[in-house]
Amino acid sequence: MLVVVCPGQGAQSPSMLAPWLELPSVATSLTRAAQTTGLDLVAHGTTSDADTIRDTAVAQPLLVASALATLRAVLELDADAALAPATARVAGATAGHSVGELAAAAIAGVLTEDEALRLVALRGAAMARAAAATPTGMSAVLGGDPDEVAAALATHDLVGANVNGGGQVVAAGTLEDLAAFAAEPPARARVVPLQVAGAFHTRHMAPAVDELRGAAEGITPGEPLTPLLTNSDGSVVASGARGLELIVAQVANPVRWDLCQERLVALGVTGLLELAPGGVLTGLARRTLPGVETVALKSPADLDAARDLVRRHAGTGTPSPQEDLS
């Protein structure tokens, strides 16, 4: 069975879209996404520098638009063809890491592409505003005993905002608490500050949740055509409405990608396709999903491998809605 996954913030890099724009369908898709979001995504994906695309308000729309556009290239769809029904014919599940959940929701048919793009533009801007309210940040915690790491985070009033599997945890909270944690790390653990604007997926993002929820109330979500996993606990969402509710709430709650990967094992996934800018999630999969074949879309040179993966692992696994444990 094939799963299509969408990367989260931090996966972006300068000029990442330059080779993709040589493909007419991708260029058209990105131009339309720019019109929907009100951001020059073509420029941000080709000429903007690293600091510019690190801005939450820029990075998030750029990542969602890139994932959707490059999936079209894999499936050889023109810019007017419906994406969700085409994906449902080949994928048994889809999931996205953090902001990647909005791309996955569009791929599953819970949201239209335009709805996902409008929401991600609001999400990025709202999270940037929330981050500016208090000096907060995030640090990667590498190594250490998981229980000891969790206890140390609690001691310093920090949250494991991203639990990615394979021993990767990202701590989030105030800069003061992060500094105290780094000065007294758990045994055999290394703490590496990340260049992000705030403590995402924590209580500090509550104002952004309120903004996003207000916008989501005007959307009537569709039912998933492809089973959609939630970052909250890795379960398959029971309905489109529940999926959208969880995506909104996730802004201020930890990303449990470790549980998403556990669910993929339980579903019997054999192939994993990571959409552009690919690499991070396939790297995690190689460490935590033994035997699952992976392809990361980094440039159009990866399209043949991606299409071959789709051809050989295509399936229509249909996990029951009762698997929603949230």
Catalytic residue, from 98, 139, 232, 235: name it.
Answer: 98
In angstroms, the first-to-last Cα distance of the chain is 24
Phi, psi of 153 (to 5 degrees): -60, -45
Active site residue 201: yes
**C-beta atoms surrounding 50 within 10 Å:** 10
Confirm whether 313 is a catalytic residue.
Answer: no
Q: Which of 265, 275, 319 is nearest to 296 (CA)?
A: 275
Could you tell me how many residues make up the chain? Answer: 326
- Identified catalytic residue from 44, 97, 156, 201: 201
Element (H, E) at 249: helix 240-249
CA distance 198 to 243: 25
Exposed/middle/buried for residue 239 (C-beta within 10 Å: 0-12, 13-18, 19+): middle
3-state DSSP assignment of residue 229: strand
Q: Is the peptide bond before 277 cis (omega within 30 degrees of 0)?
A: yes
E-assigned strands of the chain? 2-6, 93-96, 136-143, 159-165, 168-174, 189-193, 255-256, 271-274, 293-296
- Separation of alpha carbons 103 and 8, rounded Å: 10
Buried b / exposed e over 83-104, threshold 16 CB at 10 Å, is bbebbbebbbbbbbbbbbbbbb
Give catalytic residue positions. 98, 201
